[in-house]
Amino acid sequence: MRTAEALIGEYLSHLRVEKGLAKNTTSAYKRDLYRFLEYLASEEIELENLSTDLMQEFVARLRGKGGASPLAESSISRAVVAIRNFYEFAAKEESFLNPIKEFPPPKIPKRLPKALAISEVEALIANAEREGDLISLRDVALVELLYATGGRVSELVTLSMSDISKLGDEETLTIRLIGKGGKERVVPVGKFAQHSVEQYLVRVRPSLLKERRNDSLFLNARGGVLSRQSAWSIVAAAAQRAGITHHVTPHSLRHSFATHLLDGGADIRVVQELLGHSSVTTTQIYTLVTIDRLRESYASAHPRAK
């Protein structure tokens, strides 16, 4: 029988090549599976000898049993799914029964996404620019596009110049985003974001290309591709300058994009398409946010609501 490590390598290759999972997803699965492999080695458990009781013990460790740093329930749930799916693959490859086929992942409490107020979004964009710092026009363009498209930060930092169309004419600017599993979608961009992108492309990007050639839209100060970590830092710094006290990330702008569209009367199927969700069920969580807002407005405004 092949070693557990060899099987994990084959499984991760299977996810990348045959299943087409995104790099970030396979990286997360790899961390989960190697953490599990360490557990098996520490307990001297062979791969095929796992049981539901031992799996429960592993989950308890992920929750902090034995002094380890506890993981979030969402991370534990993902780890259980990763291990269970890996076992399904390994059991077929090595012809043994999958001992955890029915092992359920922990249920994750439904949390409503936190959307920024429109005034907060405007303050965030305004504070992305720093007086006397020309490269901050890039930061404005990034923040504007995050909110204008609802794109994930990983989708925005991997944009290339060829993903932009109709720039500079009177028609609506469109951006081609490549989401999870390589799924493509085209998202229209409003005039504010279009203006910010044009300013960045004309006034900043050419100077960043002096050292090296790069087709990526967003470049760092050395002419390389702007990293996800740098994009997070740009948003966090702008939020701090704007005086926004709660935690703000690039994903906050994605949540705000969806919530504000639905608040404005957009059809949920349109929002689903713009976000790149494969199922409308995923998008429906944003309708709960808007219903909560309706309840709050009703309770505060209607004379006989209380």
Q: Tell me: the pLDDT tens digits for 213-257?
A: 789 999 999 899 999 999 999 999 999 999 999 999 999 999 999
Let me know: does 169 contact 147? Beta carbons within 8 Å.
no
277 annotated active-site: yes
Let me know: does 209 contact 165? Beta carbons within 8 Å.
no
Please name the residue ranges forming H helices in the chain: 4-17, 23-43, 52-62, 73-94, 118-126, 136-149, 153-157, 191-203, 205-208, 228-242, 250-263, 268-275, 280-283, 285-301
Catalytic residue among 61, 152, 255, 260: 152
DSSP state of 71: P
Catalytic residue among 130, 176, 195, 251: 251
Tell the CATH superfamily of the 119-250 domain. Intergrase catalytic core (1.10.443.10)
Show me where the domains of the chain are located: 4-94, 119-250
For 189-233, give the DSSP string: E-HHHHHHHHHHHHHTHHHHTSSS---BSSB-TTSSBPPHHHHHH
pLDDT in tens, 75-108: 999 999 999 999 999 989 888 888 898 899 888 7
176 annotated active-site: no
Both tokens assigned to 187: 């998202």
Let me know: does 54 contact 42? Beta carbons within 8 Å.
no
29 annotated active-site: no
At 261 the pLDDT is: 92
Catalytic residue among 180, 195, 228, 241: 180
16 annotated active-site: no
Q: How many other C-beta atoms are found inside a 10 Å radius of the C-beta of residue 283?
A: 19
- Domain 4-94: which CATH number of 3.90.1150.10, 2.60.40.2470, 1.10.10.10, 1.10.150.130: 1.10.150.130
SS3 65: helix
152 annotated active-site: yes
Is pTM beyond 0.85? Reply is no
254 annotated active-site: yes
At 160 the pLDDT is: 94
Catalytic residue among 61, 78, 254, 255: 254
